[in-house]
Structure 1
Amino acid sequence: MQNFFEFARHKTSYRQETIAGITTFLTMAYIIIVNPAILEAAGIPREPSVTATILAAAFGTIIMALYAKRPFAIAPYMSENAFIAFTVVKMLGYTWQVALGAVFIAGVLFTLLTVFKVRSWLAEAIPFSLKCSFSVGIGLFLTFIGLNEVGLVALGVPGAPVKLGDFTSPSVLLGIFGFLMVVVLMAWRVKGAIVIGIVTTTVLSILFKVTPMPEHFVSMPPDVTPILMQLDLKGALDVKFFPIVLIIFIMAFVDTVGTLIGLSMRADLLDESGNLPEIEKPMMADALATTVAPLLGTTTTGAYIESAAGIEEGGRTGFTALVVAVLFLLSLFFAPLFTIVPAHAYGIALIVIGSFMIQPITKVNFDDFTELIPAFLTVTLMIFTYNIGVGMTSGLLTYPLLKVLTGKGKDVKAGMWVLAALSLTLYIFYPHK
């Protein structure tokens, strides 16, 4: 096992990788409850959706572990599930079966493009400054999510989008305690600091009756049959539905590329040219997962930014992902136990991780506005639109545009023009109320 995952080359161990896997799982276990809750708005039954979510995450993460051998977990994407539920189904009036058909088509396209190495060619065409901005943007995006989950930041009043949270709330106070605990432990170089902080905050939350104990710790997995293989391919292939398929494809593509590059930069897995070696392998894991997910009854899946939590704990190989996959499979029977972790407990991990992911901004050339502005737009729009895809496409669009307008068009690789064109179609076809 150590030879298979190349522990010696990555200077890691079973203990380090296991702690990393547990940490990643704890920071993303919320998806077991949140994804079905969002998709229920589209008409997908919640209980079968829980099983579909877990199986999709486990399948993709196992492929990532054993084939790609990278410490990245895979699960249904949050932005894509909301797009399917609230835009495609509730706003535009399509059925969830047709929407899942579109996800399947996107997955097949991903697989084909990965096999022919088109996706890796496009990823390598992205300039280094944008790759840095992906890492920074994802880090601050995680921080913003964490601040909201802990309650340090809340929705604002008219005229102010956000405001300071309620510092008298027990959950906020526990979140602050957990955050400080993790930071102090990390300052003392304590291994497993993040998972210690999450577990301690959860236990205290239960003791102080902020978080209720579940009625059961063990349960049989809900029957997935009502949503299994229910996708409507015929409806998804209708020419009128093409813009939706295109949007799902683009959103998932840019989310995956940005997440893989951002996480790999933090894990020091990029080569001297700023590229992820054999990037087509984690991309294939993502593509296969996206193809299988709609067959199971859930939406687009891909590499999860919460994998950064495990990377911070030293996760460097596929064994980290294997631990995550095993925990997801166990959660089929222990879902009440795994989902007891409250938002203010896993939120502290996201805040801490964000602080570690902003370092690459120092590698952006601040004296060259054609490098700085696309990176700046990527980071800021990723956070302020609460959408990784929007942030990334803004950078992919403005980079070649500014280069051409300033006489530096030769700096733009051919693949960047393809990415810019794809990014533009997102804004052209994206449906608005």
Structure 2
Amino acid sequence: MKEKFFTLLGFSQQRDSLKTEIISGITTFVTMVYILALMPVIFAPLSEQGFPIQSLFTATALSAIVGTLFMAFIAKRPFGLAPGLTLNTFFVETVCLTMGYSWQFALTAVLVEGLLFVLICVSNLRQIIFEMVPTTLKYAFATGIGFFVAMIGFKNSGILAEGTIFNHMETLTTPTSLLFLLGLLLTGLFTVMHIKGGLLLSILIVTVVGLPAGVTMIPEELISMPASPLPLLCQFDFEYLMWPDFWVCVTTMLFFDVFDTLGTVVGVMASAGIIRKNGRIPHMRSIMLSDALATVSGACLGCSPVTTFVESSTGFAEGGRTGVSALVTALCFAVSLVFSPIFLAIPTSATAPAMVVAGFFMFAVVRHIKVTFYLESMPAFLTILLMSITGSICDGILTGLISYIILSYTYGYMAKFKKAKRNSQ
């Protein structure tokens, strides 16, 4: 019975290690748990519109649980899902505050976007979108996301500021930065020594060391009962379906959701070596479908679009490869509903080093990019560069694809023109 259950999650006793999958799932959760604290902060301006902020923590955890369970049982891959930061900002700042629409309007747009995403996944359109990306660019996604993930780690440490290398040199001596540097040393050392669970072990050590340093705050209470999610449940308003602005919002969300997910999945899977010679990713359809279904379920629970988190790369770095890892991540989110003060006490300076090391593992696939094949390597370079500079996976993908298309068609046209000119002579 136990073996059959694990088989449903893509786990094989001959190939996989249960201990590794469990550590992978916990590591992914620990690097993602910040979203539970951040969501209420992002949505706080909507409280004036009657948005039930207290219910959002519960809705966020539930959407992460449901979405990650979809990934565990449908795709059988170790990805964690939760409401994404990019689309959170679009939901609140653009749709509600700038355009002036209600949060019910935005939630309805999320639902419709998710349903369209599902249609894309079950149709041939998903395959068309995926196959138009050359293999070289897929490896560029992994490399670019590697830099992106590492930059998130440095920003979370307080060392890296927007547009500069360092805030100030004195920031290197702050308790937060010193803990980060300690964590970076430990994760690097554990990685070199091939210690299983090294990333998670480093997070735990830095969290404990942070107690006397005043960085890790002791929670006032260990248990906190979650607020009811009912005020956010299925709060849709379909009267906007015929409004042009509604479909502008839906299209924008769909674009970011599809390409952010595509870039994250391809990048993380490629860095883990799970990519075939023809550039295809195994189970890509089920992975994308899981993400789409997570968006739909998240909208019903009252959250902005749920997406595959790039922090899942830390779980892959720990060796997670099956849905067991995702199941563990989902169970951790379930536990966090009650024990949230403990998990939210983990400082970002403890999890940031794991992000940097995970970024290193993703960067390693740059060796697969054929630099001398300029038709693909130049767009690949632009993808990596723009993803790092803009801090946006979607911007990097879009830049790479557009430059590749322009170069390909221009090169093809010039080749035909030269051939026709030679024939005429």
TM-score by length of 2: 0.91
Give the match for residue 321 of structure 1: 326
Shift of 1:161: 8.1
1:224–1:99 Cα change, 3 Å: same
Report the alpha carbon displacement of residue 242 of structure 1 after superposing the two structures with TM: 1.9
The Cα of 1:261 is off from its aligned counterpart by 0.8
Please give the residue correspondences for 1:21-420 in structure 2 after superposition, counting only pairs within 5 Å.
Answer: 21-43=25-47, 44-155=51-162, 163-164=167-168, 166-407=171-412
Given that 1:143 and 1:350 are in contact with CA atoms closer than 8 Å, whether structure 2 keeps it comes out as yes
Name 2:422's counterpart in structure 1.
none
Aligned counterparts of 1:350 and 1:362: Cα–Cα separation in 2: 21
- Please state whether the residue corresponding to 1:406 is helix, strand or coil: helix
Instruction: Determine if contact 1:99/1:236 at 8 Å carries over to the other structure.
Output: no
Cα distance in 2 between the residues matched to 1:318 and 1:350 = 21
Opposite residue 82 of structure 2, the aligned amino acid is A
Given that 1:403 and 1:409 are in contact with CA atoms closer than 8 Å, whether structure 2 keeps it comes out as no
Provide Cα deviations, 1:83-107, integer angstroms capped at 9, x if missing partner. 1111222222222211111111110
Are residues 255 and 408 of structure 1, via their aligned partners in 2, closer, same or farther at CA, if it must alter by over 3 Å?
Answer: farther
Aligned with 1:75: secondary structure? strand
- Change in 2 beyond 3 A, CA 1:121/1:188: same
Letter in 2 for 1:306: E
- CA separation of 1:10/1:24 partners in 2, compared to 1, >3 Å: closer, same or farther? farther
Q: CA deviation at 1:50?
A: 0.7
Partners of 1:128 and 1:33 lie apart in 2 by 38
Instruction: Give distance in 1, aligned partners of 2:305 and 2:107.
Output: 9
Deviations 1:319-352 (A, max 9, x none): 0000001111111111111111111111111111
Separation of aligned partners in 1, 2:401 and 2:45? 32
The answer (yes or no) to whether the contact 1:261–1:276 under 8 Å persists in 2 is yes
Judge conservation of contact 2:271–2:363 (CA < 8 Å) in 1. no
Q: Which residue does the alignment assign to 1:420?
A: none
Residue ranges of structure 1 left out of the alignment (5+ in a row) = 411-433
Whether the 8 Å CA contact 2:11–2:324 is kept in 1: the answer is no
Distance 1:10 1:120, change over 3 A: farther
Preserved contact between residue 11 and residue 323 of structure 2 (Cα < 8 Å): no
Tell me the CA shift for residue 277 of structure 1: 2.0
Aligned in 2, Cα 1:17/1:58: closer, same or farther, shift over 3 Å? same
Structure (1/2) with the larger helix percentage: 2
| Distance of aligned partners of 1:164 and 1:404 in 2 relative to their CA distance in 1, 3 Å threshold | farther
- SS of residue in 2 equivalent to 1:358: helix
DSSP 3-state at the match of 2:172: coil
Contact 1:70 1:316 in 2 (8 A): yes
Determine the structure 2 residue equivalent to 1:12.
Answer: 16
CA contact (8 A) 1:154 1:164 kept: no
1:383 is displaced (CA, Å) by 1.9
SS in 2 for 1:81: helix
Distance 1:256 1:408, change over 3 A: farther
Q: Partners of 2:244 and 2:324 in 1: how far apart?
A: 43
1:343 and 1:393 map into 2 onto residues whose CA distance is 30
**What amino acid does structure 1 have at the position aligned with 2:65?**
A
Name 1:424's counterpart in structure 2.
none
Instruction: Report the more deviating stretch, 172-181 or 272-281.
Output: 272-281
- Which residue is 2:421 aligned to? none
Q: 1:401 to 1:89 in 2, by over 3 A?
A: same
List per-residue Cα deviations over 1:125-147 (Å, max 9, x = no partner). 31011101111111111111100
Q: Which amino acid aligns with 2:372?
A: D
Letter in 1 for 2:130: A
Larger radius of gyration: 2
Q: Distance in 2 between matches of 1:10 and 1:52?
A: 38
Deviates more, 1:276-285 or 1:161-170: 161-170
CA contact (8 A) 1:57 1:325 kept: yes
Deviates more, 1:120-129 or 1:352-361: 120-129
Deviation at 1:219? 1.3
- Give the match's secondary structure for 2:173: coil
CA deviation after TM superposition for structure 1 residue 191, in Å: 0.7
What is the identity, as a one-letter code, of the residue corresponding to 2:45? A
Judged with a 3 Å threshold, the aligned counterparts in structure 2 of structure 1 residues 237 and 22 are, in CA distance, closer, same or farther, namely farther
After TM superposition, give the deviation of residue 198 of structure 1 in Å.
0.6
CA distance, structure 1, for counterparts of residue 413 and residue 330 of structure 2: 46
Q: 1:369 to 1:86 in 2, by over 3 A?
A: same
RMSD: 1.9
